[in-house]
Amino acid sequence: MKIGFVGLGIMGKPMSKNLIKAGHELVVCDIVKESVDELVALGAKSVANGASVAAECDVIITMLPNSPHVKAVILGEGGIAQGAKPGTVIIDMSSIDPVASREIGAELAKLDVELLDAPVSGGEPKAIDGTLSVMIGGSKATFDKYYDMLMNMAGSVVYVGELGAGNVAKLANQIVVALNIAAVSEAMTFAAKSGVNPELVYQAIRGGLAGSTVMDAKVPMMLERNFKPGFRVELHLKDLTNALNAAHEVQAAIPLTACAMEAMQSLKAYGLETQDHSALVQYYERISNTEVRK
């Protein structure tokens, strides 16, 4: 299958590599020349902009930082919409505001171009090994048509509902992850401040109801003081901002999300926004005057 791919960043580059490994022909575009060159060396074709990608491909994947970037790449000058033929399908795998997904989809529909919102979860490690979780909103028939192709990058591809539903699912995921990290950070800080070894507390509770994938992924990082980013604080802040905006749009109350966002905002004020989101423990450490470590 000939596929366009716009956005070769931390996630997009390994995802596109997995498509090439699966035997697909790629036409790629990105503002970072080194990333483009890396894909060209693997057999991809490079073009100048989204419009040029659309001129060659009937299906195009976008993987971009946030809503404004997606709007610009799809609807802006030199964007995908300017080169797209009727019947073109755009699969936006960025994590953006579902309101923006619906707005972009409405504009594309005027051109007989279809949009699926298909955000992913799993971070760079799962992008590399091709085991991402993908949540999709849009046409069920189009989802079915491209399911196998998407599985070349994923371990799970789930249809959630109409356009925008994929990003609602992703934001729900990010709410749960943020609150879980916050709860774990609070608990480990409480243990440390009480004079009890937080590593032993972790071992004592991880097998019970409190145990979680987040706990097992993040507590060891906290104990090792390893905040090398798998998913940066600044990206989680972006997701929580989108979650709050989307929740306000439908009058849903998400007060715990607001609390987690303010704690992460404090990390940004500390200059820690490029660290892994497990660095949230440092917010609790500062306000409790203690440190969580082995």
Beta bridge partners of 46: 28
Rounded Cα distance between 281 and 127, Å, is 26
Catalytic residue among 170, 218, 228, 294: 170
Rounded Cα distance between 280 and 113, Å, is 41
- Name, in order, each residue with C-beta under 8 angstroms of 252's C-beta and a sequence gap of 6 or more: none
The tokens describing 34, both together, are 């080194």
For residue 74, give Cα distances in angstroms to 22, 50, 61, 92, 290.
26, 7, 11, 10, 48
Q: Can you spell out the DSSP letters for 87-103?
A: T-EEEE-S---HHHHHH
Q: Report CA torsion sign: 261, 231, 173, 238.
A: positive
Tell me how crowded residue 272 is: count the other CB atoms within 10 A of its CB: 19
Q: Is 45 a catalytic residue?
A: no
Segment (H or E) for 155:
strand 154-161
Pick from 114, 132, 135: nearest CA to 16: 132
Catalytic residue IDs: 170
